[in-house]
Structure formats: C-alpha cells, structure tokens
Amino acid sequence: MTNSQRNAYGETLVELGRTNKEIVVLEADLGKSTMGNLFEQAYPDRFYEMGIAEANMASVAAGLSLSGKIPFFASFAAFCPGRCYDQIRTSICIPSLNVKICGSSAGLSDYGDGSTHQSIDDIAIMRVLPNMHVFSPADAIETAKIVRYMAANHGPMYLRVNRNPLPNITDESSSFVPGDITVMKDEGEVAVFATGIMVSKALEAAEQLKDEFGIHIKVINVPSIKPLNITQVQEIAQSAKAIITAEEHNIYGGLGDAISHAIGNSCPAKHVRIGINDKFGTSAENYDILINAYGLSATEIVNAVRNI
C-alpha cells in the first residue's frame, strides 16, 4: 500500500470508477498534485479541468450532483474550501447535495509555498457547516477507506489530505465508520486524541515516554472530526487524568474544540491543546522544519505529558 495520501485518493477513485460510472472528478489546474490526474488518465470523459476557478468548480460540482453524478473535486486545502466557501455553503451544504471535496496539501504540508498555500483553518471552516462531514485520515490506508465511504454514501463530505508521505499505521482489515474513534494504545492515565499526521507523532511520543521515562499513555486516532462519536470520547475522557488533543491545524476551531465540545462538563480532566498556536504558516526547506517550529513534534507531546 502506498504511504502517500494523495496517491491513495487518486488510485481509489480510479478503482471505484471502474464499476461506478456516476463518479466524476473535477480539478482546478492541480490534478498532478492532488493526483486527480490518475482519474483523468483512466476515464477522460468523466474528468473536468476547470482551471484556476475554484468557486466555479464547486458550482459545477453542485450541478453535476443534481444530474445524478457523484462529483469529487479537489484543490489545495487553502483554496478548497478557502476560495469557494460561499459556493460550498450555499450551493452544496444548504441543499445537502452529494458532493465530495478533497482539501489536498493540508496543514503545513506544502512547506515550500508559505502561508498562502498552507491551511491552518480548513477543519474549522468545514466543521461549522450544517450537513458537512469532515474527515482527517491518519495515513494512506485510512484515506482509501474514507474515499470509498464518501463514494458510497450521500451528502456533502470533506477529506483532508497531507502532501507528504506518512507512515502507514492503521489496520487495513478494519472498517471505517464515520464518527468512530480508534484506540491505538490503551495504557496510562493520559489520553492523547490525535488526527492526521499527529497520530503517528503521538505513537512516536508514546514509545519515547515508555522507553525513556517509563510512562504509558493512551493514543486515540480521530479520523472523523464531524460526525464524532460523543459516547466513545466521553468513556475515554472520564477515566483519564488528563487529555491532550494534537492536530496540524489552528488550536481554535479544530479537533481540540470538537473533543472539548464532546466532553462538555462530564470530565474534570485537564485538557492540553497541541496545534498551531493561532498563527499562519511560512516557507521552509522541508516539512520537518515546520513541524518542529510550530510545536507539532513527538517531543512536544512528550513534554506535555511530563508536565501534567
């Protein structure tokens, strides 16, 4: 299995397109990056190159949905939803159309292009919209499962995809159930709820804590930001001494807020948020430089656990 979420997105659409002739793909001049071009190569008559016109792309996707098609449209997450929020809100979410959106190169993963191309707010933007589902997979395996789910189920859905290769850490044999969380490690009194790249960082932190300090933690993968299984979250939170949320997104409006809302007043545990501390991205020579500079490393999680 590829360790590229982008490849998993494109390859899974090609796989689904063999039997589901209603699937169509739209791109805004970035198909070679989002890997939507794989669908273009396989089924050129069901691929639409919209040019650098994301708002128009969203509107066309809405129209295709009304004609019975299952449109997937993609761009960098900074541009979809960034440049077409009004069309997503008005033309897709209000009528609850069957349109699927892929925000590629999400978070800081487009490390070379700076703040204009990096999305620190896309989860918040999509999560607030009624009828919209928001998915943030931990690896390529989970990405493929979510794409299959999106194609098979009705309604507006947003998929957040990383630009860079990520380690495959999830179980290929398990099913994706929207809302459900997955306990990756079930030890200790500190529960780390993580999403996207931060799941692998949390697992790395768990190994460091165990090997270097004899500390055990729970690591929970949250691939579905919305919907979110509140009962599952509360069950873990109620037995925790402390909760950490870890996300490659602004600390406002994303996973941290979703977990806090799910817990409500039912859990007195301390809540520490690890994420981008209310600032825009910047350019760097590589992805790891940004991950470290913005406090998204395994070391950050290790230090947070030790300071609780």
Q: Which of 40, 54, 204, 300 is catalytic?
A: 54
**Cα distances (Å, whole numbers) of residue 34 to 7, 18, 139, 249:** 8, 20, 15, 20
3-state secondary structure string across the chain: CCCCHHHHHHHHHHHHHCCCCCEEEEECCCHHHHCCHHHHHHCHHHEEECCCCHHHHHHHHHHHHHCCCEEEEEEECCCCCCCCHHHHHHHHHCCCCCCEEEEECCECCCCCCCHHHCECCHHHHHHCCCCCEEECCCCHHHHHHHHHHHHHCCCCEEEECCCCCCCCCCCCCCCCCCCCCEEEEECCCEEEEECCHHHHHHHHHHHHHHHHHCCCCEEEECCEEECCCHHHHHHHHHCCCEEEEEEEEECCCCHHHHHHHHHCCCCCCEEEEEEECCCCCCCCCCHHHHHHHCCCCHHHHHHHHHCC
Q: Say what angle helices 197-208 and 298-306 make with each other, to 10 degrees.
A: 50
11 labelled catalytic? no
Distance (Å, rounded) from C-alpha 194 to C-alpha 238? 17
Residues serving a catalytic function are 54
